[in-house]
Chains A and B, each alone.
Chain A
Amino acid sequence: MSNREWPLWEVFIRSKQGLNHKHVGSLRAPDATLALENARDVYTRRSEGISIWVVESNYVHASDPSDADSLFEPSDTKVYRHPTFYDVPDGVKHM
């Protein structure tokens, strides 16, 4: 019997029309078809979704946590990047 573990897959679920697929977790599966079925069984039991993406975790490239300071802290002091200095006219909806 083979002791190799099945590859890990990242699961993304779209909760309803018009919203983005969101990362919900990961699982193990031998191939893409069963990864989709496992994702359906593990992550949509309570009507969480209408669409599933699975991506083999190998193919996800992640930023290095030790770079977090240089990557993300600089934006903390750039308040002018947030559109908070404009007055929104009363008549504008959906802002």
Chain B
Amino acid sequence: MKNESLYNYVLRLGDDSLILGQRLGEWCGHGPILEEDIAMTNISLDLIGQAMSLLDYAGEIDGNGKDHDALAFLRFENEYQNALLVEQPNGDFADTMMRQFLFDAFRQPLFEKLVHSSDAQLSAIAEKSLKETRYHLKHTSEWIIRLGDGTEESHTRAQKALDNLWRYTDELFSETSADLSLVTSGIVPSMVEIKEVWNKTVHAVFAEATLQIPTNNWQFEGGRRGVHSEHLGYLLADLQYMQRAYPNMKW
């Protein structure tokens, strides 16, 4: 392998997109209203498109001839490096919007920085994904504000979603020593910078939404090193079934 640090970094980006895209796609046909059903599946397809580019690139770095399909459909659970946040179940609409908002607020500054990566391919993928992510963040911010500052029921549900999902946010910013070497060579940004921007975004939106950030600082981690919650296995069973049952099937 040419560059194992870069491979893992790109794979992680791809896995976050893939798993969240698959999760969001579960809403297809079940959205609370037709317009939002389409909005969520649009976002899902954006994420799956990002996953295709990122996983293809990871495969290229790996040099073993694996394309996005091989990486998406034919790995075991502990080989996925997505953050725990993105594999969490959809729950109700507030849970889904909260998960998406916390993620989008992280992805936008990350892609903004990755546009300036010294790695041309990563920069190009970031540039395309950034446009999509800006819209996702705008859409989910609007929803968090309306749910939080809406009815008593919507406020209660949005606060419950935040209380539940906050524990998965630190992991988004975790960095391995291999990542730090990529930072030094100007390929990826430091997560410290990304977290600063993320903090500003979430504080501003939650203030407008009248939602309280939990004071409990306990945080989960594990996804980045392949240790997942029980939810990922079921998601992968859905995702991988066809390729596992009918290898190399295309349609």
Residue numbers of A with Cβ under 8 A of B are: 1-2, 6, 27-30, 33-34, 37-38, 40-42, 45
Residue numbers of B with Cβ under 8 A of A are: 33-36, 38-39, 42, 135, 138-139, 142, 146, 151, 153
A11 to chain B, nearest CB (A): 11
- Docked-complex contact B33 and A45, CB < 8 angstroms: no
- Docked-complex contact A38 and B151, CB < 8 angstroms: no
- Docked-complex contact A28 and B42, CB < 8 angstroms: no
The chain B residue with its CB closest to the CB of A34 is B142
The chain A residue with its CB closest to the CB of B154 is A1
What is the CA–CA distance of A34 and B143 in the complex, to the nearest angstrom? Answer: 9
Chain A contacts for B146, CB-based, 8 A: 30, 34
The chain A residue with its CB closest to the CB of B143 is A34
What is the CA–CA distance of A27 and B42 in the complex, to the nearest angstrom? Answer: 17
Chain B contacts for A28, CB-based, 8 A: 33-35
What is the CA–CA distance of A41 and B39 in the complex, to the nearest angstrom? Answer: 5
Chain B contacts for A2, CB-based, 8 A: 151
What is the CA–CA distance of A79 and B170 in the complex, to the nearest angstrom? Answer: 74
- Which of A1, A6, A34, A45 contacts B42, CB < 8 Å? A45
- Docked-complex contact A27 and B142, CB < 8 angstroms: no
Chain B contacts for A42, CB-based, 8 A: 34-35, 38
What is the CA–CA distance of A30 and B35 in the complex, to the nearest angstrom? Answer: 11
The chain B residue with its CB closest to the CB of A41 is B39
B21 to chain A, nearest CB (A): 16
